[in-house]
Amino acid sequence: MVSYIIRRLLMMVPVLIGMTLITFSIVHLIPGNPAQVILGETANQTAIANLEESMGLNEPYLTQYGIYVKDLLQGDLGTSLRSNAEISTEIWPYIAATFELTIFAMLFAIFIGVNAGIISAWKQNSWFDFLAMLFALIGVSIPVFWLALMEQWIFAQELGWFPAYGRQDNRDPIAPITYLYVLDSFIHLDFSRAGTILKHLILPSIALGTIPMAIIARMTRSSMLEVMKSDYIRTVRAKGSGQFLVIYKHALKNALIPVLTVIGLQTGVLLGGAILTETIFSWPGIGRYVFEAISYRDYPVIQSGILVVAFIFVIINLVVDILYKIIDPRINY
Amino acid sequence: MAEIVLELKELHTHFFTESGEIPAVNGVSIKVHKGEVVGIVGESGSGKSVTSLSVMKLIPSPPGKIVSGEMNFKGENLVNASEKRMKKLRGNEISMIFQEPMTSLNPLFTIGNQLIEAIRLHQKITKKEARKKAVDMLQLVGIPRADEVAGEYPHQLSGGMRQRVMIAMAMSCDPELLIADEPTTALDVTIQAQILDLMRNLNKEEDTAILLITHDLGVVAEICDRVVVMYAGQIVEEGTTREILKDPEHPYTQGLIKSLPNMHEREQQLYSIPGVVPKPKMNSVGCHFAPRCEFAFERCFQENPGLYALGNQRQSRCFLHEDTEGKVKKHAKADIGS
C-alpha cells in the first residue's frame, strides 16, 4: 500500500511540471508584448517598461520559468495587478467558498445518486426504476442556470424557505477563521449562525449537484446491474444471505469502482469553479475570481487560478486512485 | 434403503421469454437418498443446471418460474417455501458449488471473510470462533497453510484452490445435501481427480448426499452411485452407474457412451451424435430425441414416449421398450458397436 502511494505520488511529478509549463506559457502565448496587453492599448511606454521590469519579463524565458517555479515552491503565487495583494493570501477565501459549496453539492449528489442507482438496479423495471431514470435523464439535460433561477423563484421568492443568494446574512457577517463558514461557525460555537449558513448552501448545492447526481445514479445503476449478474453474487445467495447483504456488501463494493471514477471527475469539475451557479447565487468562489480576473486582464491571478484548480484536480485523482486500491486489492500500478 | 433426502416429483421449471414459454425442466422426478451420490448427465441445454438451481430456488425470476411439481426436501415441499425459509436452508442444509471457481468468489473480500460470513449466517457463534472454524474447514479440504490463506484474496489462489475453498464454504454448515454443478469442468485433469476424491471423502465421512451435475461420463464413473440422464428438459434414462455405463438402454445414452474416446480401439474419428440438443418448446410433438436418433420410426415423431420402468429405479424413455403386445421389455436396443 505504502509503495503504491509513493509510486502514485512520483507519477504526479511530471503532471505538475506540465501544469506549471502551461500556466507559465499563458502570458507568453498572447500575441504581442504581454505588458502591453495587460495594460491596454492606451498605456504609455514608461508604464509598460515598469511592468516588464516588475514582472521580470526582460529576463530570458528559462530564467523566468526558473523564478516562477522557485516562487511557487515557496508558496508565492505572485501579486494581483488589480488589488496589488499577494495572490496566495487573496485566493484562499475564494477557494474555501468553492470548496464548501462543492462538498455539499457532492454529498447531495452522492447520497441521492448512489442510493437511487442501487434501488433502481435492485428493483429493475419497477415504477421506482422508471421514475428515477426519468429524473436522471432530466437531471443531466437540464441547464444549470435555468434550474438555479427556478429554485430562486420557487423556494426563495415564492415560498421564502431559503435565501436566494450569498454565503451568509451580510448584515451580520461571520469573523472568518478558515473561511469555510460552516466550520467557522462551529468553531465559534455559534449554532444558529451555522443554521443560517447551511440554509444559504442548500439552493446552490442542489443546483450544482443535480448533474453529478444524475450521472452518478445512472452509473451506479448500470454498474450494479452488471455486478448482480456475476457468479459470486449467486454464490452469496447460495450461502443463504439476504438481499440486503447481497446488495450493500457484495454487489455495491464491486460496483463502486466506475462510480468512484465518476465521483472523482465530477468533484474536480465542480471545484474548478462553476461560474454560472456562482454568479446566479452571488457565491464568491474561485470560478468568479478567475472570471473577474479575465475581464481585468489580471494575468498573474488567471495563472494562479488555473494552477490551483489544476492542482486540486491532480489531488482528487490521487485520492481516487488510493481509494481504488483500498476497495480492490487486485489493482496495482 | 436409506431415507430420502430430496425427492423431485414432476418438476416443471419454465422460462417466460419474449419468444414464448420455454419448458427448461419438463416434468423431472429424481430421488436422492442419504449418503448417496446421484449424477445428472446431459449435454449443454438439457436442463440439468436449471434443475439444480430450482432446488435452491435461485432461478433468475423473472423470467424463470417453477410452474408445477414438488420438491420435497426431508419431507418439506420447497416449491411453496417462503424466501425466509429458503434463506435458512441455503448454505445450511442444502449447499451448492458451481462450475466456475475463478469467478465464484467475491474478488474484493478475503477467503476468511467469505467463509466466516457463510458460517455466521447459520450459526450463532462469535467472529473468533467462526474464524477458527473457517481455518479448520480450509484444512479439511486440503488447503496448505490454511491460516494464511484465510487472509488472502481469491486472485491469489489457483483455480483448484478456489474450488476447494468453495467446497469448504459449502460444507461449513454440515449440509444434508450438496449440489455440485459441474464442479470440475473448469479444472485440469489432475486437479479434477483431487476435487472428486475430496467430494467422495466428504460424502463418506459426513454422509452428505450429493447431487452432481456433469456432462462428463468419466466424472460419473468416478464418483456416482446412480445416474439420471437428461435430454431437452426430460429424464431419458435412469439407473445405477454400472447399469448406465455398461448397459445403456436409451439410444441417447448409447450415443453418449459411444462418443467417449476408447483407449483400446484406434478409430479414425470419434463418434458423435448428429445434430444438437433442440430448444425445449411447449406442446412439442414426438420424442425430443427422435430427430437425432438412428432407431427412430414413425411413432417416435407422433408421440412422446413415457418412462418405461425396467427394474428397481431403472427406467428409460423409448418406444423400443414396448413389444408388439404393448408390454415392456428390456434390452430393446439394437446392439451397439457391432
Instruction: Name the domain count of chain B.
Output: 2
pLDDT band at B267 (very low <50, low <70, confident <90, very high): low
- Buried b / exposed e along B174-202 (16+ C-beta atoms within 10 A): ebbbbbbbbbbbbbeeebbebbbebbeeb
Residue B16 lies in a domain: yes
Give chain B positions within 8 Å (CB) of A241. Answer: 87, 91, 117, 121
Is the peptide bond between B62 and the residue preceding it cis, with omega within 30 degrees of 0? yes
* Pairwise pLDDT comparison (A18 vs B313), residue with the higher score: A18
- Interface of chain B toward chain A, CB-CB under 8 angstroms: 56, 58, 86-92, 95-96, 98, 100, 103-109, 117-118, 121-122, 153, 155, 166, 169
Q: Among A6-20, A214-228, B156-170, B283-297, which stretch is predicted with the lowest mean pLDDT?
A: B283-297
Q: Which residue has the cell 468553492?
A: A98
Q: Which residue has the cell 499563458?
A: A26
Same domain, B185 and B247: yes
Compute φ and ψ for B231, nearest 5 degrees.
-145, 125
Residues of chain A with pLDDT under 50: none
End-to-end CA distance of chain B: 38
- What ipTM does this complex have? 0.82
Asked whether residue B337 carries a pLDDT value surpassing 50, the answer given is no
Residue B119 lies in a domain: yes
Q: Do B118 and A230 touch (CB under 8 A)?
A: no
Closest-CA distance, B55 to chain A, in angstroms, reads 11
Tell me the C-alpha to C-alpha distance, in Å, between residue B175 and each of B7, B90, B119: 16, 9, 12
Looking at the DSSP bridge assignments, the partners of residue B209 are: B177
Q: How many CB atoms lie within 10 A of CB A239?
A: 27
Domain span at residue B118 reads 103-172
What's residue B297's pLDDT?
A: 82
Residue B278 lies in a domain: yes
pLDDT, average across residues B41-49: 84
- Most confident option among A46-55, B143-152, B310-319: B143-152
Same domain, B207 and B287: yes
Same domain, B273 and B283: yes
What's residue B308's pLDDT?
A: 81
What's residue B188's pLDDT?
A: 80
Is the peptide bond between A212 and the residue preceding it cis, with omega within 30 degrees of 0? no
For chain A, give the percent of residues with pLDDT over 90. Answer: 32
Same domain, B113 and B72: no
* DSSP secondary structure letter of residue B328: B
Same domain, B273 and B338: yes
What's residue A273's pLDDT?
A: 63
Residue B98 lies in a domain: no
Of B90, B100, B122, nearest to A238 by CB-CB distance is B90
Same domain, B238 and B309: yes
Same domain, B54 and B179: yes
Q: Do A254 and B88 touch (CB under 8 A)?
A: no
* DSSP secondary structure letter of residue B298: G
Residue B312 lies in a domain: yes
User: Among the three residues B151, B172, B193, which one is the final residue of a domain in this structure?
Assistant: B172
Same domain, B131 and B17: no
Same domain, B203 and B111: no
Same domain, B152 and B209: no
Residue B208 lies in a domain: yes
Q: Do B91 and A254 touch (CB under 8 A)?
A: no
* Pairwise pLDDT comparison (B2 vs A116), residue with the higher score: A116
Question: In a mutagenesis test of the B interface, which of A227, A235, A259, A331 is the best target, namely the one with the most B β-carbons within 10 Å?
Answer: A235
Closest CA to B57 of B25, B27, B34, B35: B25
Same domain, B179 and B274: yes
Here the CATH number for the domain that contains residue B50 is 3.40.50.300
**Residues A31-52: pLDDT tens digits?**
777 777 777 778 788 888 888 8
Sheet holding B177-181: strands in order across? B94-97, B177-181, B209-214, B37-41, B226-231, B234-240, B314-316, B308-311
A residues 164-193 near B, CB within 8 Å?
A: none
What's residue B327's pLDDT?
A: 66
What chain A holds in terms of domains, given with CATH numbers, is 16-76 (no CATH), 94-327 (1.10.3720.10)
User: Among the three residues B172, B187, B204, which one is the final residue of a domain in this structure?
Assistant: B172
Asked whether residue B336 carries a pLDDT value surpassing 50, the answer given is no
User: Among the three residues B125, B152, B172, which one is the final residue of a domain in this structure?
Assistant: B172
Same domain, B123 and B149: yes
Burial tier of A62 (Cβ tally within 10 Å: 0-12, 13-18, 19+): exposed
Which grid coordinates belong to B163?
474450488
